[in-house]
Amino acid sequence: MNESPSNDLAPEGGLRPLSDAGLDDQAIWGLVDGAPDGIALVDEMGKILLVNRRIEALFGYDRMELLGRSVDVLLPERFRQIHRAHRTRYRVEPRTRTMGAGLSLFGQRADGREFPLEISLSPLATQAGLRVVATIRDISERAHAEADARRIRAVLDATSDALSIFDADTLRFTYANKGAADHVGYSRDELLGMTMLHIAPEFTEATLRATLDPLLSGEKSSHTFATVHRHRDGTDLPVEIVLQAVSNPDGPPRAFVNIARDISQRLAADELLRRAEQDVRVFEDRERIARDLHDVVIQKLFAAGLGINAVAARSTDPEIVQRLGPIIDDLDDTIRELRSTIFGLSARQAPASTRSEIQRIITEEQGVLGFEPALRLDGAIDALPSHIVTELLPIIREVLSNVARHAHATSATIELNVTDRLCLRVQDNGIGIGREPTKGNGIGNVTTRATNLGGSCHIRNAPDGGTVLEWLVPLNSAPASRNQMR
């Protein structure tokens, strides 16, 4: 402590007093030794000349263990070589500065443990040469706090939601996470010079402050609403915003937390749901219409056809029979068209298996037949090509309708066999067919559908009475064109 700093010289050349309180060396040393930061004095070669009590506490050494040793003993091994280079450069251009600005510095305790520290250097010119005063501060708590803050920022940046904090008075953002920058296309630095008014076009300053007033007064703890964020390219992103006031124990809130979530997918899903609900209502109406057509209209037409057919059968007037024949055929065509319309109206339903569709037709026709036909299935019925199934189902309905109208049967059997071809065989115990089995459009339609698929249709009287129909179609047949179907 006897070395005198040259910059403390009075104008007359004498030492300038450190205080007018008449402090002696013991008082001055007590001031250094009681400082809250560690203080070390080293020479230009890095040898320790002086340490205070705080240095002993920080590094776990007795001061007598340090005096005369290189200051490198206070550093981890990996820093010692580069520190010697720094010390050499500092000797050439000594000035008061922070050591290792922008770098993470660590000290090493006597037991080998490391801790983060901050070092300030001050040159001291003495008669004995350059001396350097190193002020050392343990920043472990600050480093832990900064690490916690980095972890929190990493968590906030990991979310796709836009999170920002803005000042209650200026409305300017004081913090913005990565999500906030991504939402609007501005960098975080750019956002820190902006307000919500720059990115929320639906707000004016007056409406925004009116929205914040209930939070400032404590009337509400949070406020949720939907608006849009305008991207820097001009596009608008629909968002849901949650505003919360940051509590302030000394008075009204001084800041607000703003959390914005992209709701474009939710809105798209809501629109799809709305359309789906609308479609359901339309489909329900279509199903009701289809049901009414089937249960009421077709049954009335079918009954009318049966009545006209009965009149024609009992009539002995050839002219009446000739006139009634086309009417019966027109009714048959009308019923087929109605059934096609009903099928179209019900097209929204999930496709059922071929087996269940055949059973459904049998159940529907049972009412007009007066009995339930027997059903025998053999082979991969449900694996039939769709274009064959499209033709098969109307054929079964057509044949059963003909049995009901013409056969006067009390039983019928439907057999389907699938190998390399489909064989549909329908036999009833009715009166059989006359000399003109193709009379009427029904039989002609069945035959035409088979021919269009590269197959054939045969109708004959059964040996024990009744009629047998065989409808044969190869499985590798091509779908019939619309013109063929007509």
| Chain segment 44-91, per-residue pLDDT in tens | 888 999 999 999 999 999 989 999 999 999 999 988 888 888 888 888
The CATH class given to the 159-262 domain equals: alpha beta
Q: Beta partners for 392?
A: none
In percent, the amount of the chain with pLDDT more than 90 equals: 39
Q: Is the pLDDT of residue 38 over 80?
A: yes
Structure tokens at 337: 């068209």
295: pLDDT strictly greater than 70: no
Residue indicated by tokens 């992209």: 262
DSSP-derived 3-state class of residue 158: helix
Tell whether the model's pLDDT for residue 11 goes beyond 60.
no
Which structure tokens are listed for 433? 């067919």
Supply the pTM of this predicted model.
Answer: 0.43
Segments making up each domain of the chain, as ranges = 6-143, 159-262, 266-349, 350-486
Inform me whether the pLDDT recorded for 317 exceeds 90: no
| Separation between Cα atoms, residue 354 and residue 392, nearest integer Å | 9
Read off the pLDDT of residues 423-455 as tens digits, 9 standing for 90 and up: 999 999 999 887 555 445 567 788 888 898 999
> What Rg do the C-alpha atoms of the chain give, in angstroms?
49
4 pLDDT exceeds 60? no
**Half-sphere exposure of 64 toward its Cβ, with a 13 Å CA cutoff?**
0
Domain 350-486: give its CATH architecture. Answer: 2-Layer Sandwich (3.30)
The CATH label, of 3.10.105.10, 3.40.50.2300, 3.40.50.970, 3.30.450.20, for the domain at 6-143 is: 3.30.450.20
pLDDT tops 90 at residue 412: yes
How many CB atoms lie under 10 A from the CB of residue 228?
Answer: 17
CA atoms within 13 A on the CB side of 159: 16
Higher pLDDT, 304 or 142: 142
Q: How confident is the model at residue 348 (pLDDT cuts 50, 70, 90)?
A: very low
pLDDT of 481 > 70? The answer is no
Phi and psi, residue 16, nearest 5°: -80, 130
355, two tokens: 């087996």
Report residue 156's pLDDT band, with 50, 70 and 90 as the boundaries. confident
Average pLDDT taken over every residue of the chain: 83
Whole-number pLDDT of residue 206: 95
The backbone torsions φ and ψ at residue 411, rounded to the nearest 5 degrees and listed phi first, read -160, 160
The DSSP letter of residue 255 is: E
Residue whose structure tokens are 């045969």 = 458
Judge if 159-262 and 350-486 fold alike in CATH terms: no
- Strand ranges, E, within 113-194: 114-126, 129-138, 162-167, 173-176
